Structure 1
Amino acid sequence: MGAEKVIIADTVRPLWQNILAAVCFTLCGYVFWLYFSRSPEVSDLETHRDYMEMGVFFLILAIGLCYKRGIQIKPQSKEFKATFEIGPLVLGQWKKIPDPEYVSVFQQAVQQGNNIFKVNLWYDRNKHWELYTNTDYRESFLIGFDLSEQLAIDLLDATTPNDYKWIDKDEWRKKLNETS
């Protein structure tokens, strides 16, 4: 049987960003500690605003450096959750996938002649969720293939403009078994 839950992480942050985020969270905590440990008789509105602005600045900077987006899918119950993750905190809400039809992998041109590959889950005839984006064709395709296998739906290779191909998944399974 398939996996209980499929997790697709959209971003993996480099170590230096995580370290810088930890420093910013620490500075944010220190600024708020200074703000709340001040004597109550100090009522300088300008000073209060400065502390709050600085604390919020460090908090936003820290979150921007360490957040990750992701997708979680429960193939058995056909549920989907787009996640926003900050460390162990995972935010998102489960939604039912109405009539999943197929997964597509397609190519999109970006700046300076580079391309990115996107994996979409199509449902309800012409609606889709963008699940994954990467610059590596093979990794994007493998994620699309795995997702289509977990949901027992078709896979469309739309990486060549105007030359879309339905993938013979039996043939791909054989190829994957040969390379393993």
Structure 2
Amino acid sequence: MANIITYLKPVPVTKRILGFTLIIFGFLAIFTKSIGFGAVAVAFGIHFSSSEGSQIDITSKKYRKIWSIASIHIGKWKPCPEFEYISVFSTKESQRVNVVTATTNVTRSVILLNLFYGNKHQTVYKTTNKKDAFKIAEHFKVAFNIDILDATGTEKVWL
């Protein structure tokens, strides 16, 4: 049996409940009233209740970025390159929000986990919780026998 490590970005319970409620009402609308309205409701429901993350198959040395809903993971497996180290990196994420007459940018701090190989990297996880990020980085360290670079502060530190 494969030894697969799965990391998913947590989705708040209220957002997940809203998503599944929209999916149910969307399917009801498709079968009883309007296919268009129902399809839009299902699409929003899937978006609200889904999560992103990554999976690493340590046995076969493959990885994939996944999109997940209700424990169904979608993503294409790729062979793992020879990873050199994992970086825990703090950055800002910006999103533009448009309303009828106004536009604003919402910025939040996020922590990315990047696996480096050569002069390339693969982002394998995104979170807002620093403790969670280092816990996951430790799993990658053990799985691939690599070092962790803490780039969350002003000074970069090898762990």
Please identify runs of 4+ aligned residues in structure 1 that moved more than 3 A. 109-115
> Does residue 1:166 correspond to 2:158, yes or no?
yes
Q: 2:114 aligns with which of 111, 120, 127?
A: 120
Q: Tell me the residue number matched to 1:40.
A: none
User: 1:14 corresponds to which residue?
Assistant: 12
Q: Measure, in 1, the Cα distance between the counterparts of 2:88 and 2:49.
A: 27
Q: Distance in 1 between matches of 2:141 and 2:91?
A: 21
Deviation larger for 125-134 or 58-67: 125-134
Give the aligned residue type for 1:96.
P
Greater strand share, structure number: 2
**Structure 1 counterpart SS, 2:153:** coil
How much does 1:141 deviate? 1.4
- Who is 2:89 aligned against? 106
2:150 to 152, 157, 162: 157
Question: 1:88 offset after TM fit, Å?
Answer: 3.1
Shift of 1:68: 0.8
Gap runs ≥5 in structure 1: 36-50, 168-180
Q: Give 1:27 deviation, angstroms.
A: 1.4
Structure showing the higher helix proportion among its residues? 1
Q: Give the C-alpha shift of residue 115 in structure 1.
A: 3.2
Residues 114 and 31 of structure 1: CA distance in aligned 2, closer, same or farther (over 3 Å): closer
Query: Cα 1:93–1:114, aligned 2, differ >3 Å: closer, same or farther?
Result: closer
Unaligned runs of 5+ residues in structure 2 are 95-105
Q: How does 1:8-157 map to 2 (within 5 A)?
A: 8-10=7-9, 12-34=10-32, 51-110=34-93, 115-123=109-117, 125-157=118-150
Quote the RMSD (CA, aligned, Å). 2.1
| 1:135 positional shift | 2.1
**8 A Cα contact 1:104 1:156, kept in partner:** yes
Could you tell me which amino acid in structure 1 is paired with residue 89 of structure 2? F
Structure whose CA Rg is larger: 1
In the superposition, the TM-score normalised over structure 2's length comes to: 0.81
1:165 and 1:23 map into 2 onto residues whose CA distance is: 45
CA spacing shift, 1:24–1:104, aligned 2, 3 Å: same
Once the two structures are aligned, what percentage of the paired residues are identical?
Answer: 26
Whether the aligned pair in 2 keeps the contact of 1:21 and 1:63 (CA below 8 Å) is yes
- Number of aligned positions between the proteins: 147
**Is the partner of 1:63 in helix, strand or coil?**
helix
Give the superposition deviation at 1:83: 0.9
- Distance in 2 (alpha carbons) for counterparts of 1:142 and 1:88: 22
